[in-house]
């Protein structure tokens, strides 16, 4: 099947959507499909595309550019596209246009929402009603149960399936390189931007240091506009590494003991799933997308506030055996979200898009 993955943001930009679209297309290609990535993100001379990519230009700034529905339909048909998979975040003019144009012109269409719409629900609902999006003949999906609930509300009850991000758990499960005689290591991987809440996490770690001086270390991985200020305020126990590649992150996870995901509006949490696949217990916010693959007290802990997060981290330092038991479970039992289940779910959505069945989304 010739599938067009339409996304405003794509490599060489780095982010969850960019990497997941690439990896999904690559896995589908290995299955015998013929994916094409359609994006308004410009190419970088330093990075060569390893998947078929069509980069279009339009009105706007950066990757977020308008591209007319008629021109988009002509482009899709010129490439023999049989199904459209539009990848939508909070603001995705190309993907929204593709979903509307493809559905209007009879192309089977799946729309995947990769972000949490809870904080912008009135705005998205107003736009969806203006565009009559709930009546489009498309299959709606979101990356987690939490994200799907807001999409369903924005579309006035339209069925919304869950199509999670994919992962190869075995690729992340390295032999543990932690030493028994060193303090526990907490780790987190995120963009250093406000909505990921790195500043709140640093405050929690500072409070933990005051109560347990010298009893732990923390490694925070990622780049972003807040990084310089966070580094200035970090104590010796907390290291900000900046951006790292997947190979380095795997090694850092193998040397850590507990992963922290502090953002309550985490639509999925691919970094948390990578840590879970590496065998680490995960501490995340209840109500986020992480709750789809982390059960409280089994693979990690789900907390409702920064105060609860501090309490959990304190309990790990008081009794490290709790985290060790969870790590043993996580290393022995693969997570429920894997590429084989994701690809099966995607194929089911495409099949329903071809049949026009929306009742079981």
**pLDDT tens across 334-353, in order?**
999 999 999 999 999 999 99
User: Which strand ranges, in their side-by-side order, compose the sheet holding 34-39?
Assistant: 53-55, 34-39, 2-7, 83-88, 109-113, 139-142, 161-162
Q: What is the pLDDT of residue 59?
A: 79
The tokens for 114 are 């990769």
CA 291 to chain centre: 13
Average pLDDT over residues 27-31: 97
Residue 358 pLDDT > 70: no
Q: What is the pLDDT of residue 61?
A: 73
Average pLDDT over residues 207-217: 97
Average pLDDT over residues 258-278: 97
Q: What is the pLDDT of residue 212?
A: 97
Residue 359's pLDDT band, with cuts at 50, 70 and 90, is: low
pTM of the model: 0.92
Q: Which of 193, 202, 234, 5 is nearest to 98 (CA)?
A: 5
Q: Which domains does the chain have, with CATH numbers?
A: 2-166+339-355 (3.40.50.2000), 169-332 (3.40.50.2000)
Instruction: Evaluate whether 324 touches 301 at the Cβ level (below 8 Å).
Output: no
DSSP summary character for residue 250: H
Residue 181's pLDDT band, with cuts at 50, 70 and 90, is: confident
Residue 179 pLDDT > 70: no
Residue 99 pLDDT > 70: yes
Q: What is the pLDDT of residue 48?
A: 82
Residue 103's pLDDT band, with cuts at 50, 70 and 90, is: confident
Q: What is the pLDDT of residue 176?
A: 81
DSSP summary character for residue 86: E
Average pLDDT over residues 55-60: 86
Residue 174 pLDDT > 60: yes
Q: What is the pLDDT of residue 87?
A: 98
Average pLDDT of the chain is 94
Residue 197 pLDDT > 60: yes
Residue 360 pLDDT > 60: no
134: exposed, middle or buried (C-beta count within 10 Å: 0-12, 13-18, 19+)?
Answer: middle
* pLDDT tens by residue, 32-47: 999 999 999 998 887 7
Q: Which of 103, 91, 102 is nearest to 136 (CA)?
A: 103
DSSP summary character for residue 296: B
DSSP summary character for residue 43: P
């Amino acid at each position: 099947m010739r599938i067009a993955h339409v996304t405003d943001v794509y490599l060489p930009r780095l982010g969850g959507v960019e990497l997941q679209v690439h990896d999904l297309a690559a896995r589908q290609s290995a299955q015998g499909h013929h994916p094409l990535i359609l994006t308004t993100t410009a190419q970088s001379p330093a990075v060569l595309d390893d998947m078929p990519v069509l980069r279009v230009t339009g009105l706007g700034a950066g990757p977020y550019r308008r591209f007319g529905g008629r021109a988009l339909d002509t482009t899709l048909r010129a490439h023999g596209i049989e199904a459209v998979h539009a990848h939508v975040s909070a603001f995705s003019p190309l993907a929204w246009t593709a979903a509307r144009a493809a559905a209007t012109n009879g192309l089977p269409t799946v729309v995947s929402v990769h972000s949490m719409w809870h904080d912008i629900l009135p705005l998205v609902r107003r736009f969806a009603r203006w565009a009559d999006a709930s009546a489009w003949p498309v299959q709606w999906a979101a990356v987690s149960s939490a994200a799907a609930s807001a999409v369903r509300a924005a579309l006035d009850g339209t069925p919304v399936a869950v199509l999670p991000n994919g992962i190869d758990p075995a690729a992340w499960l390295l032999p543990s390189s932690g030493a028994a005689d060193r303090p526990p290591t907490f780790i987190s991987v995120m963009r250093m931007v406000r909505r990921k809440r790195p500043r709140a996490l640093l405050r929690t770690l500072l409070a933990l240091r005051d109560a347990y001086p010298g009893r732990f270390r923390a490694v925070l991985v990622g780049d972003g506009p807040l990084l310089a200020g966070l580094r200035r305020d970090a104590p010796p126990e907390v290291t900000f590494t900046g951006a790292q590649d997947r190979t380095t992150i795997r090694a850092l996870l193998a040397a850590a003991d507990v992963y922290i995901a502090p953002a309550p509006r985490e639509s999925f949490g691919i970094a948390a799933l990578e840590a879970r696949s590496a065998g680490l217990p995960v501490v995340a916010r209840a109500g986020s997308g992480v709750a789809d693959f982390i059960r409280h007290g089994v693979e990690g802990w789900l907390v409702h506030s920064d105060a609860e997060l501090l309490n959990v981290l304190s309990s790990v330092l008081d009794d490290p055996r709790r985290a060790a038991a969870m790590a043993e479970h996580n290393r022995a039992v693969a997570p429920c979200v894997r590429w084989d289940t994701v690809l099966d779910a995607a194929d089911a959505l495409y099949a329903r898009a071809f049949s026009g069945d929306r009742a079981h989304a």
